[in-house]
Amino acid sequence: MTEPFGATSTTDEVLAGIDLSGKRVLVTGVSAGLGVETARALVAHGAQVVGAARDLAKARAATAPVAAAAKNGASLELIELDLASLASVRKASQALVADGRTFDVVIANAGVMASPFGHTADGFETQFGTNHLGHFVFVNRIASLIAPGGRLVNVSSSGHRFADVDLDDPNFERGDYDPWQAYGRSKTANILFAVEFDRRHQARGVRATALHPGGIQTELGRHLPENALEQMLERINAELAAEGKPPFQFKTVPQGAATSVWAGVVADAADVGGKYCENCHVSAITDGLINPISEGVRSYALDAEHAKALWRKSEEMVGEVFSA
């Protein structure tokens, strides 16, 4: 990969000169933020996009300009998908399988962050159940629709550094709940899911990767207490100053969505398969104490045996077994 892309690259810069005509892409979470921008960029370059969202009315309003601008074979259609309800997940996946049309890329973008303690419709801790288990069941149920040469892109986060998954207590039934620890567990699970999905499907030419989009101000932060973001930024900037680095700057939404489209349709599949990406490149493993906005992925998030164990635990929790 020799493209000169980085933290400030936008979706349109990453896709410059790329014709996605005839490509079909599924994106979850198209009612706001990164999901809408990801869909917009793909449609603008000729792709047929299926956008999934829990609130269809909100998604229709948010993506109306995207649908209106579609031309020359590009399109945007919406489906209902509530990742916090396995009944909704199974209904949506069943409809897609019955339709039978294949996808070149699936971008698992939807999620929640640092939410108060709660449970999904099926009794799972909200963040683990929504961010991981909902996508785990949905993607596996439509895996046969990902065409050879296709890809799965899981939108994770540098927040995976907050915590490894806890396979003994995934629902915080014994431990005290911490919203950031729960978020970290779910984002680590996103990466491990990609690692094992990649292992299981690469023989048929399907690869999987995970990524951190960067720090972006979107609806994802709606659960944060007042002033929590400001306090976090103060700590981060103090650490950066001590390292002789400039203050943290948020990415724009087009910059944040750039790594998703880069990993999905630009990067070489062999380079990103089973890896973790950020700022439009594959990240190195960096264990130890580092600034939370520095680049790098924890080794536990890429551990193959750990990924297999999470897969087995996830199957046990949702009551379904998924073969390669």
CB 207 within 8 A of CB 267: no
If you average pLDDT over residues 70-84, what whole number do you get?
A: 97
If you average pLDDT over residues 236-250, what whole number do you get?
A: 77
- 300 flagged as catalytic: no
CA dihedral for 30, 32, 83, 303, sign (positive or negative)? positive
Could you report the per-residue pLDDT of 85-140, keeping only the tens digit for each? 999 999 999 999 999 999 999 999 999 999 999 999 999 999 999 999 999 999 99
Could you report the per-residue pLDDT of 172-195, keeping only the tens digit for each? 999 899 999 999 999 999 999 999
Q: Closest Cα partner for 158 from 231, 235, 225, 211?
A: 211
CA 27, CA 186: separation in Å to the nearest integer? 19
Q: How far is CA 71 from CA 11, 31, 41, in A?
A: 19, 21, 13
Q: What share of the chain is helix, strand, coil (3-state, %, to 5)?
A: 45, 15, 40
Per-residue model confidence (pLDDT) at position 293? 65
Could you report the per-residue pLDDT of 202-214, keeping only the tens digit for each? 999 999 999 999 9
Q: Closest Cα partner for 189 from 252, 116, 139?
A: 139
Given the residues 183, 251, 275, 276, the one annotated as active site: 183
Per-residue model confidence (pLDDT) at position 324? 72
Cα(first)–Cα(last) distance of the chain, in Å? 29
CA 39, CA 86: separation in Å to the nearest integer? 24
- 187 flagged as catalytic: yes
- 183 flagged as catalytic: yes
Give domain limits for the chain. 11-317
Given the residues 187, 260, 275, 283, the one annotated as active site: 187
CATH code for the domain defined by 11-317: 3.40.50.720
pLDDT bucket at 218, cuts 50 / 70 / 90: low
CA dihedral for 288, 290, 292, 298, sign (positive or negative)? negative
Given the residues 156, 158, 283, 314, the one annotated as active site: 156
Structure tokens at 233: 């930024």
* Region class of 241: left (phi > 0), else alpha (psi between -120 and 50), else beta: alpha
If you average pLDDT over residues 267-274, what whole number do you get?
A: 98
